[in-house]
Amino acid sequence: MIRAVASPAQVHRALLCASLCDKETYIECNEMPDDIMATVGSLNGQGAKIRYDGSGFEVIPVEIPTSRIKIKTNSWVRSSKVYRLPGDVAYKSITGLLLTLPMSNEDSEIEVEGIEEYRPYIDMTVETLETFGVKIERKASDDGGAVYKVAGGQKYISPGIVKPEGDWTSASVWFCAAAIYGSGVICTNLNRYSRQGDKEIVNILERFGAITSYRGDSVAVRRARLRSIRIDAAETPELVPMLAVVAAAAEGQTVIYNAERVRLHESGILNKVSTILNALGAGVIENLDGLIIQGKPRLDGGLVSSLGDHRIAMMTAIASGVCEDAVAITDAEAVSSSYPDFFDDFEKLGGKVTRGMEAGEKERRARTLY
């Protein structure tokens, strides 16, 4: 059994909102990923006072004028108080507008044209804003997009204490591992009805053939005979690396499609996934739309790099469970950007980790998994 870590996406949003509040806020969080600490450093640099006490963040806000909050403006068009963006634009641009427009003196609208490919991420932003007393009205458009109406003159009101949900993305790592080997896993601190898009991992693993169940805030997954499926990755890009491992262990040929956004906005992750899994002995073909993966009973193993990517480091660690030989990962410390305690939790769940330094490489950490 393992407890899901706090959702980094929700912690990021809560930190931003708390920094704009009327009074102090406490955000519960037992982890300090590098990405979150970077956000803390940026907000402190703008005048907020944020302190981590080991269990969460104490946030003392300082008034931050809208003009000082940077928003990338070359991806949207401003007309009066209407902001028009294509549905495939990076959600961070929309999030930036949703955070700042409520503090302006006038009402405004954000028109998202075409299908909102980042809808779950936008929903999380709107949900967090509501926690801090900021109201956003959403109306669906005929073209599959939406209009967000934002009233001006709103104030951020501290709820006192914020308890972020457990993170479905990091929990998916353990669920995928349980689907392909071992005796199963139970992960607690998860909201079945969360706005997080990656909760879809349970349905996808069921389609592969894994056995899943819910009980309260817990989700259980255990392995069964896995068969290939087709996976639409449009709304769950962060799941692609781990789903690729499951596909590599399933019978038949799995196709992951609608993953163009993963290629464009996820740091070349498709190429990283195919390169590393193939180095371990998998059969992965990368195409413009996604990945084609031929399942095998076992992979080979060997020495590979995380390529400096936290998702690849975790993917490779989980893949070690279906490899004939040990797997060594250089730059394994990349996990610290999102899940610093990953390898500790890996060991708690039965994995074997040998820590050591690669010969001649002072800055790289190797971990061998058996």
Residue 108 maps to which CATH number? Answer: 3.65.10.10
Q: Tell whether 263 and 131 lie within a shared domain.
A: no
d(CA 255, CA 152): 46
Give the residue among 235, 225, 233, 164 at the shortest CA–CA distance from 3: 164
Is the distance from CB of 283 to CB of 312 less than 8 angstroms?
no
Longest CA pairwise span in the chain (Å): 63
Q: Is residue 268 part of a domain?
A: yes
d(CA 310, CA 340): 10
How many domains does the chain contain in total?
Answer: 3
State yes or no: pLDDT of 359 exceeds 50: no
Burial of 353 (0-12, 13-18, 19+ CB in 10 A): middle
Give the residue among 251, 356, 267 at the shortest CA–CA distance from 311: 267
Structure token digits, residue 305? 């790099």
Q: Tell whether 72 and 57 lie within a shared domain.
A: no
State yes or no: pLDDT of 368 exceeds 80: no
pTM of the model: 0.87
318-358 pLDDT, tens per residue?
999 999 999 999 999 999 999 999 999 999 999 999 887 54
Is the distance from CB of 256 to CB of 240 less than 8 angstroms?
yes
Q: Tell whether 118 and 188 lie within a shared domain.
A: no
Q: Is residue 362 part of a domain?
A: yes
Q: In the structure, what pLDDT confidence band is assigned to residue 68 with cuts at 50, 70 and 90?
A: very low
% of residues, the chain, pLDDT over 90: 75
Is the distance from CB of 124 to CB of 98 less than 8 angstroms?
no
Residue listed under structure tokens 């300090």: 32
pLDDT at position 67: 47
d(CA 170, CA 329): 19
d(CA 73, CA 92): 11
Q: Tell whether 319 and 195 lie within a shared domain.
A: yes
Structure token digits, residue 225? 């005979």
Among 90, 115, 150, which residue terminates a domain? 150
220-233 pLDDT, tens per residue?
999 999 999 999 99
Q: Tell whether 27 and 121 lie within a shared domain.
A: no
Q: Is residue 162 part of a domain?
A: no
169-182 pLDDT, tens per residue?
999 999 999 999 99
Q: Tell whether 359 and 313 lie within a shared domain.
A: yes
pLDDT at position 235: 85
d(CA 23, CA 63): 10
205: alpha, beta or left? (left if phi > 0; alpha if psi -120 to 50): alpha
Residue listed under structure tokens 């195409």: 287
Q: Tell whether 181 and 88 lie within a shared domain.
A: no
Give the residue among 132, 352, 169, 332 at the shortest CA–CA distance from 243: 169
Structural domain of 14: 7-63
Considering only residues 365 and 355, tell me which one the structure prediction assigns the higher pLDDT.
Answer: 355
Q: Tell whether 201 and 178 lie within a shared domain.
A: yes
Q: Is residue 160 part of a domain?
A: no
